[in-house]
Structure 1
């Protein structure tokens, strides 16, 4: 791998300390960054280099399993720190001076609020840090709706072309998601069955036992629909349902995802009334109600749970519903995709299921009917399990940062993908803004509102609660 310089905006923030620096260190310790150049950490805090490194040792090192002190010292030796105001052009002149003028590979990571993206890009361009050597990584969410997303994309496009922009979604770096494309492309047993003739329905669930914690102010202006459905779940859905291209290169994968997202059946008020459930957690036992969490507006209508029945206009998926749901303060924490196959003969037997677990473990299992042991011909359910948990499995941020350094955009969002997702989400946001559908309630620590079970059970189907 060629040498590179890495610039991180927001280096003193939570994401940088918990994920980005540990991932960079791990890539270095694993030998994937043999020619590391400078790592220039920037933030608003007035710190010198030694003070910043001390902060890293306390806040970042604790998130690294089996951290080698010698490797850590080698890694941090390459780190510099610069206090910077993203709105001040003169600060970017100082930043440029710290970069090796001979560097041919410069990665700039925006671990800051999207409100700073446009100004920072303009200031970077003003000092020449937007030429072909430069790649930028943007954390989502980009915008709060289609209009604001387009505004950000259009402004940034004045300074960087699409080949230089990496919109990161850490879910796309998970081992199980990376395996999904290989599973579908190179296994005839699944390739031949991955269509409406053999699949009854698909479920995608992302649950957290945590509430909003310290993110109350951010979350109350965002909600579960923007934070999880638009951000992550629609990307997962597109990888599950898209037509697998002949080659798994970046352009082919992104084109296939875009085509699928544009084939989501549009939602109007009537569809939203019957196919979309929003809810907010209420007090239960030791758990506070959402409205009693810190930094939540009085009588807030922000949803902490969403369930949607999604239909596709793609002929390959005609009459195959996709049920998606996400929630905070749930009974269990997990992220999973469940593919329910049709039973062609025996309608009274639960069908086979392919269960793809994204977290807490990386695991793919095929639920089979097998004979019970003993003198019987009765059957029972058992799982054929592919365990992807290994010391060799990369954490998502490590994998994705390495992809950026190497110039591989396959696991990143194209601007048109995000805009297609927002175009589908916008009618729901407008419906809720005008209170055309109810905001339901569910007990904190439960499996969600009764209405989410009604949504799927009215179709004679059920959620898979692990």
Structure 2
């Protein structure tokens, strides 16, 4: 592993403590980070290095799975802390002075609100931290709609080249997601069946049993559509539906994904309300309603659940419905892709299904029908399971941070991908803003509103719940 310096803006935040520092430590524990690399933590909070390390000890160490006291001491020995006001360019000079001498690989990670991205990039540029040594990492959400996304991309491009920008989506670091293209490309059985002739419908679901927790202020401005569907779920859809490129390099993969995102059939006003269901959880036994959560506006219309039907306008997939859904305070927590294959009898109970589980388990399952023992006419469904869970499986952020250090952008969003996704989602947001669609409700810790079930069942499909 080459030497590097890692600058983290927002180092005292929840994401930094839960994901970024534990991932950096784990990479060091695994022998994948150089001892010579500096980690420079920054935030607005004014305290010294010792105070920051104490905070790291109490808030970050608890999220580490392979803690070793000696390794932890070695790891934290290379962590430094600076209090920085993003609006003060003179403070960025101090940051520049903290870097290793002759550093040739500098990663600057923005674990901060996107509203600060542009100012931070400008000040970094003013102190010379935008040359070819530097890569910047942008956390989501990148904008709140197409206009704001384009504005951020355009302004940042004045300071950094596209090859220097890594827009992170942690779902693209999941082992099971990274396995999708391999599964499709190197198994002839799936190559032959991966099209509208053999596939009845495709479902992508991401459910959480948690509510908004301490993210009320952020979530009430964002909602489920922006928080999960516009980025994670549409990225998964593009990997499922894209044409397998001849080469698996970053440029080829990004082009293939972009082609799919641009082929999403626009949701027109006359069909939008029939194809998009939005809902909000309400009180159920000991579980609060969304409106009772901390920092939620009274009478908020923000959705905590979305289910929709998407279609692609290309020869391979035309006519195949893609059902997408995500929600908070659901009955179970899971994320999976379900591909339902057609059968001549067209009955739901004997359809072959390929299930790619993304969380909490990493596995690939195939539902197939076999003859019941001692019967010549009856059959039963059995599941073939391929378990991808392994003690050595990297967490998403660890894998993606290592990709950044090694300058591998294949699992990161190109600006055109994000803009294409926002363009498709914008019609939904505008419809909601104009109050032209109904907000439904569902009990906390349930499977969602009945309208979501009606959406998929009218096409002869069904949600797969585990």
Alignment TM-score > 0.5, same fold? yes
Deviation of the 1:373 alpha carbon: 3.2
2:327 aligned residue: 327
Per-residue Cα deviation, 1:319-339 (whole angstroms, up to 9, x for no partner): 100000001111110000000
**Structure 1: where are the runs of 5+ without partners?**
none
- Label 1:328 to 1:346 Cα distance change in 2 as closer, same or farther (>3 A): closer
Deviation of the 1:461 alpha carbon: 1.2
2:183 aligned residue: 183
1:135 aligned residue: 135
Deviation of the 1:160 alpha carbon: 0.3
CA contact (8 A) 2:352 2:368 kept: yes
Deviation of the 1:101 alpha carbon: 3.3
Q: Distance in 1 between matches of 2:417 and 2:290?
A: 32
Q: Distance in 2 between matches of 1:165 and 1:27?
A: 22
After TM superposition, list the pairs within 5 Å mapping 1:24-423 onto structure 2.
Answer: 24-344=24-344, 347=347, 349-374=349-374, 377-423=377-423
Per-residue Cα deviation, 1:323-368 (whole angstroms, up to 9, x for no partner): 0000111111000000001114565752110000000011111111
Q: Distance in 2 between matches of 1:54 and 1:372?
A: 61
1:464 aligns with 2:464: yes
User: What secondary structure does 2:301 align onto?
Assistant: coil
Q: Distance in 2 between matches of 1:36 and 1:353?
A: 49
Per-residue Cα deviation, 1:45-94 (whole angstroms, up to 9, x for no partner): 11111111111111111101130110000111111111111111011000
CA contact (8 A) 2:143 2:152 kept: yes
CA contact (8 A) 2:5 2:105 kept: yes
CA contact (8 A) 1:343 1:349 kept: no
User: What secondary structure does 2:214 align onto?
Assistant: helix
User: What secondary structure does 2:11 align onto?
Assistant: coil
User: What secondary structure does 2:441 align onto?
Assistant: strand
Q: Distance in 2 between matches of 1:221 and 1:347?
A: 42
**Structure 2: where are the runs of 5+ without partners?**
none
Deviation of the 1:379 alpha carbon: 1.5
CA contact (8 A) 1:4 1:35 kept: no
User: What secondary structure does 2:37 align onto?
Assistant: strand
Q: Distance in 1 between matches of 2:70 and 2:49?
A: 19
Q: Distance in 2 between matches of 1:9 and 1:349?
A: 52
CA contact (8 A) 2:5 2:37 kept: yes
CA contact (8 A) 2:26 2:66 kept: no
CA contact (8 A) 1:6 1:107 kept: yes
Q: TM-score, normalised by structure 2?
A: 0.98
1:17 aligned residue: 17
* Count of paired positions: 466
Per-residue Cα deviation, 1:75-126 (whole angstroms, up to 9, x for no partner): 1111111111111101100000001230100001000010110000000000
Q: TM-score, normalised by structure 1?
A: 0.98
Q: Distance in 1 between matches of 2:347 and 2:6?
A: 57
Q: Distance in 2 between matches of 1:44 and 1:341?
A: 53
Q: Distance in 2 between matches of 1:411 and 1:389?
A: 20
User: What secondary structure does 2:338 align onto?
Assistant: strand
Q: Distance in 2 between matches of 1:151 and 1:329?
A: 33
User: What secondary structure does 1:354 align onto?
Assistant: strand
Q: Distance in 2 between matches of 1:350 and 1:376?
A: 16
Q: Distance in 2 between matches of 1:159 and 1:243?
A: 33
Per-residue Cα deviation, 1:423-466 (whole angstroms, up to 9, x for no partner): 00001000000111100111111100010011011112111011
CA contact (8 A) 2:348 2:461 kept: no
CA contact (8 A) 2:42 2:82 kept: yes
CA contact (8 A) 2:7 2:107 kept: yes
Q: Distance in 2 between matches of 1:302 and 1:34?
A: 45
User: What secondary structure does 2:312 align onto?
Assistant: coil
Cα RMSD for the two superposed structures: 1.1
Bigger drift between 347-356 and 43-52 goes to: 347-356
- Label 1:95 to 1:364 Cα distance change in 2 as closer, same or farther (>3 A): same
User: What secondary structure does 1:423 align onto?
Assistant: helix
Deviation of the 1:371 alpha carbon: 2.4
After TM superposition, list the pairs within 5 Å mapping 1:410-449 onto structure 2.
Answer: 410-449=410-449
Deviation of the 1:375 alpha carbon: 5.2
Deviation of the 1:318 alpha carbon: 1.2
